[in-house]
């Protein structure tokens, strides 16, 4: 018996290796593909959501917009058509979380620089201060690439509506009137259908790593 097994041991080893490969391929074929959730207003902290849509459970998308970037160009939803993008809210004179958020967004920019599918979008919550020249100065200081990343200013009411009703990313400021905002540290991942696919703390390195990984997962959804 031992002579028999010894005679065919290489055949058995080959069959064993082939069996392992086949099992691995079947496992990968049958394993459900990882997918990101599609966030609806009802899934988000109510403090960040306009009261008119807090209970909405489906069909939420980023609304159309018309704002001005750091180069004085009009930027609309069409400039992000067919793109995955990361959005946030900031202001150039912020002394606390904004510098950290911007530095982390710069790191994301370096990771996606050669990926035509991914862009970045930052909205000023103090557009009365963040004029086009101010945004341009900030962009140059921080290393913003104009082809990948727009810093937006414009009508404050429009930015507020986007923040509260589209991106679900800022809180009301009860002391400053109906259109004053307390922006959060959130980065928001938006897919090609203008749907929110993730929220991340833009001040935390581990969240940035998760965001980059989720971008890869989201891209795989479109490649399958």
Which tens digits make up the pLDDT trace of 188-200? 999 999 999 999 9
Phi/psi at 129 (5° precision)? -95, -40
Both 99 and 180 in a single domain?
Answer: yes
Domain containing 9 equals 1-31
Phi/psi at 97 (5° precision)? -85, -25
What whole-number distance in Å separates Cα of residue 50 and Cα of residue 164?
5
Binding residues: 94, 98, 183
Both 13 and 117 in a single domain?
Answer: no
Q: What is the CATH number of the domain that holds 73?
A: 3.40.30.10
Which tens digits make up the pLDDT trace of 149-190? 999 999 999 999 999 999 999 887 645 555 566 778 999 999
Both 104 and 134 in a single domain?
Answer: yes
What is the mean pLDDT of the segment spanning 99-118?
A: 97
The β-bridge partners of 124 are: 90
Both 101 and 137 in a single domain?
Answer: yes
- Judged by DSSP in three states, 85 sits in strand
Which tens digits make up the pLDDT trace of 115-151? 999 999 999 999 999 999 999 999 999 999 999 999 9
Would you state the structure tokens that stand for residue 193, as one six-digit string? 């259908």
Considering its fold, how many domains does the chain have in total? 2
Both 136 and 190 in a single domain?
Answer: yes
Both 110 and 160 in a single domain?
Answer: yes
Please report, rounded to a whole number, the percentage of residues in the chain having pLDDT higher than 70.
81
Q: At CB < 8 A and 24+ separation, what contacts does 101-107 make? A: 101/185, 101/187, 101/202, 101/203, 102/142, 103/142, 104/187, 104/202, 104/203, 104/205, 104/208, 105/149, 105/187, 105/202, 106/142, 106/143, 106/144, 107/208
Residue 118 vs residues 94, 122, 171: alpha-carbon distances, Å: 26, 14, 27
Q: Kindly state the DSSP code that residue 153 receives in the 8-state scheme.
A: B
**String of DSSP letters for 16-54:** HHHHHHHHHHHHHHHSPPP------GGGS-GGGS-TTTT
What whole-number distance in Å separates Cα of residue 174 and Cα of residue 198?
27
What whole-number distance in Å separates Cα of residue 104 and Cα of residue 204?
8
Would you state the structure tokens that stand for residue 108, as one six-digit string? 């994301």
Binding residues for Cu cation: 94, 98, 183
Domain contains 36: no
Both 14 and 114 in a single domain?
Answer: no
């Amino acid at each position: 018996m031992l002579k028999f097994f010894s005679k065919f041991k290489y055949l058995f080893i080959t069959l064993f290796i082939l069996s392992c490969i086949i099992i691995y391929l079947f496992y990968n074929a049958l394993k459900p593909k990882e997918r990101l959730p599609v966030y609806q207003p009802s899934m988000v902290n109510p403090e960040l959501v306009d009261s008119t849509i807090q209970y909405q459970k489906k069909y939420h998308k980023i609304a159309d917009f018309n704002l001005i970037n750091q180069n004085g160009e009009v930027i609309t939803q069409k400039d992000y058509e067919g793109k995955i993008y990361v959005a946030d809210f900031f202001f150039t004179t912020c002394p606390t979380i904004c510098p950290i958020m911007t530095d982390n967004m710069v790191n994301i920019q370096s990771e996606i620089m050669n990926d035509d599918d991914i862009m970045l979008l930052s909205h000023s919550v103090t557009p009365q201060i963040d004029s086009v020249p101010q945004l341009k100065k900030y962009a140059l200081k921080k290393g913003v690439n104009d082809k990948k990343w727009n810093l937006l200013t414009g009508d404050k009411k429009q930015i507020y509506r986007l923040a509260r009703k589209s991106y679900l990313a800022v809180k009301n400021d009860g002391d400053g009137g109906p259109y004053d905002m307390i922006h959060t540290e959130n980065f928001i991942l938006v897919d090609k259908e203008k749907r929110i696919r993730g929220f991340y703390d833009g001040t935390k390195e581990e969240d940035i790593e998760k965001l980059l990984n989720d971008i890869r997962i989201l891209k795989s959804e479109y490649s399958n």
